[in-house]
A and B are shown apart, each in its own frame.
Chain A
Amino acid sequence: MSGKPQKAQKPQKPQKSQKPPKGSTQDRHDEQQTGRTGQDRPDRPREERTTAVRLNVFRTYKLFIGGAFPRSESGRVYQVTDTAGDWLANAPRASRKDARDAVVAARKAFPRWSGATAYNRGQILYRVAEMLQGRREQFAAEVAAAEGLPPGTAAARVDAAVDRWVWYAGWSDKVAQIAGAANPVAGPYFNLSTPEPTGVVAVLAPPESSLLGLVSVLAPVIATGNTAVVVAAEPAPLPALSLGEVLATSDVPGGVVNVLSGRTAELAGPLAAHQDVNAIDLTGAGPDPALARELEKAAAENLKRVFRPRAEDWTAGQSTDRLLAFLETKTVWHPMGV
């Protein structure tokens, strides 16, 4: 099993007190203080780390907006650590302007994505699952580091995420058949209700499940033709940022999914208040009820559809709830006569 975080090989951590406060923006010199080097990053195969004959190439994690990979326009980053507090990467700390750009990109992508045939969306989303599968090892390592899971469990989460993505991909051309209706009205009218995507959906990904949780909240949103602005799990954004790279290589048009990393509280506010966002999934604000309430209030300004936080077991079976939550029902009438 490659990609396993080599905790045992790491030097003993100095004292806890020396650990940088979680989430603080720190200087890279911290690495030396904690004795960590890039060798320990989960995306490096073990051999590389043990041979030490060559220095690994680091990957710079970037935002994913409109199909491109910008750094935050603010130039800010924050340190991402594993559950033990060890440095993993400097993730972009997106600003409200990045959030705004992401909404613009999502809005721009909406007509084409929502206008694509459901079959086409299903094909593209299935392609995402294929790409995810191909990067299984990388994601397993990232998830293990992010969530402090044993390697087998982390891999199982990645597998579940792939399977969940496949499940939702298959829904794209079926949801109208379970959520739509032919309505038998009392008159000479053809009357059909069909579900349509709500529009641009802001998604606050759950902090506790960096990939499976993310997939569980993102895939249902876009499967039906919405476009999304995702705020990655604040403490564990790396799988989300990597997912951006998967999406970019999976025929998903730019802007359909936009991934932001940073402070959930900082990004969620502007998204909840944004007049061109149609719906918001507050799952990521779940641990902070006061924040969730403020966001729901802000969302009222343009009557966003709000998916409230609730207790979730991401490993449990999937349901259509999230798929159906970001749909509008359009009912079309036409007379029948000669």
Chain B
Amino acid sequence: MTEQPTATTTPTTTATPITPAGPRSAPGPLPGFAYAPAPESRDLAEIAPSYGLYIGGEFREAHNGKSFTTLDPSSEEPLSEVAYGGAEDVDAAVRAARDAFPAWAGLPGAERAKYLFRIARIIQERSRELAVLETRDNGKPIRESRDTDLPLVAAHFFYYAGWADKLAHAGFGTDPKPLGVAGQVIPWNFPLLMLAWKVAPALACGNTVVLKPAETTPLSALFFADICRQAGLPAGVVNIVTGDGTTGAHLVAHPGVDKIAFTGSTAVGKEIARTVAGTGKRLTLELGGKGANIVFDDAPLDQAVEGIVGGIFFNQGQVCCAGSRLLVQESVQEELLAALKRRLTTLRVGDPLDKNTDIGAINSAEQLARIASLTEAGEAEGAERWSVPCELPSDGYWFAPTLFTGVSQAHRIAQEEIFGPVLSVLTFRTPEEAVAKANNTPYGLSAGIWTEKGSRILWMADRLRAGVVWANTFNRFDPASPFGGYQESGFGREGGRHGLEAYLDVR
């Protein structure tokens, strides 16, 4: 080989630089390409100082006059005072939903469909406002609320709108009936998206709903109430009762509710299942997970790294289907971890409203404490911790993207759902071992497979006990695609034709 200046032994020398030309030299040697702040405007979402409960088509104060404060978790700045729904309020909402039920269920499906289409369109129209609102109340990066949450919310209403007049063709009998009043309790990680997952199929099937949004993220549901108003939705078809776990418990226990749909923690899911036992109320649960993201040595590595990053750091890892366990084949462990760490250092942590932010704030002090406590347990149990070196804002709830190596199945961080930006790295040697480790959990919500070998993907997918298996991708969602778990990740599916079953009297 000819000696060329391009090929030298020191990593710092290289092809002879082609000197930049110009009347003045090229822009100075900045430390990288410092992106200037690019904040989305807060003013896009006008948040009122206080909100009432939305019952029977009207906003009203809580019966006991109580309220609670919802915060911007990135700054701890109070956003609004929200009415705290008690037993009387839940009762009023259930009665409003019951009153509205016969007329709503009696509407021709095509008419119900049009209401849902209207809602979908209004969400699209107001999506920028709603994205800002969601980011402020939740702490998630505007890039995600804008590019993931809101498009999926609108798409979900669009998808189920189209089912409303086609239920006879859905495989649940020729004249499937709605259940009645659906009580729906949703979490704080995707406030508006979880609302859409619950409300859209319920309404399409002819049910009326009482929805209890999460305590820390009530605002987008209240904005949704306004969207219902704009759409001309009949009063009482959608009722929003804000509050905390006690409010949710009132709703679950209310005898006037025919169906409970819950997304949240497995512990609460079990409590709800016990409450509902013997009542005949239909129940669907979408609960926790400890998803295994399995990387083989023949994986498309750069995309696998992206999939791992998206799998655990999307929404600060506060995702039930997060790929929180990385199972990497030992033969590629070193290379993959080096690439992963290199990639993690490019994550931009900070102001959720900045369009260039990749990692926003943790949703609440309580959640931050849980993440901190589990990561401390990880260190105490001997796993090796590595966190992205980054400066975290002083106000608000923040946690640096973190990964643990040297994790074994017995560690708490390999077993318990952390629900935060923390990845546990385990290794395997054979496909059988990967399956065994992946399935070694009471959960069964999601799994990922990374390999270029098609037959291995199918072999693995067949054996993984998980409701959603992403092969050579991760954390993809679509209204047409059923979502839900095995075992303690819950039961019932949301999305797709399967999602209708939860809101029809199928047996």
Contact = CB atoms under 8 A, between A and B. Distances in A.
A329 B481 contact: no
Contact of B483 (A189, A297, A331, A334): A331
B467 A301 contact: no
A289 interface: yes
Interface string A285-298: 00001001110110
Contacts of A189: 473, 476, 478
A228 B457 CA distance: 29
B493 A329 contact: yes
Contact of A329 (B270, B476, B482): B482
Contact of B498 (A181, A278, A296, A321): A181
Contact of A330 (B277, B466, B488): B466
Contacts of A186: 155, 478, 480
Nearest to A322: B507
A334 to B, nearest CB: 5
Given A178-B171, A305-B491, A330 B469 contact: yes
A330 B487 contact: no
A265 to B, nearest CB: 15
A133 interface: no
Contact of A328 (B273, B467, B470, B478): B467
Given A303-B285, A331-B481, 18 more contacts: A184-B480, A185-B476, A191-B481, A198-B486, A292-B278, A294-B277, A299-B273, A302-B487, A303-B287, A303-B490, A305-B491, A308-B280, A329-B498, A330-B466, A330-B468, A333-B468, A333-B469, A335-B472
Interface of B: 155, 171, 266, 269-271, 273-274, 276-278, 280, 285, 287, 442, 444, 457, 461, 466-473, 476, 478, 480-484, 486-488, 490-491, 493, 496-498, 506-507
B473 to A, nearest CB: 5
8 contacts: A178-B171, A181-B482, A183-B480, A185-B480, A185-B481, A187-B476, A293-B278, A331-B481
B480 A303 contact: no
A278 B497 CA distance: 24
The 8 closest A-B CB pairs, nearest first, are A293-B278, A300-B273, A296-B277, A185-B478, A297-B277, A321-B507, A334-B471, A183-B480
B236 to A, nearest CB: 29
A301 B267 CA distance: 9
Instruction: Give the size range of A's interface with the partner.
Output: 35 or more
Contacts of A300: 270-271, 273-274, 277
A112 interface: no
A278 B472 CA distance: 29
Contacts of A335: 472-473
Given A301-B270, A303-B287, A334-B457, A193 B507 contact: no
A310 interface: yes
Interface string A217-261: 000000000000000000000000000000000000000000000
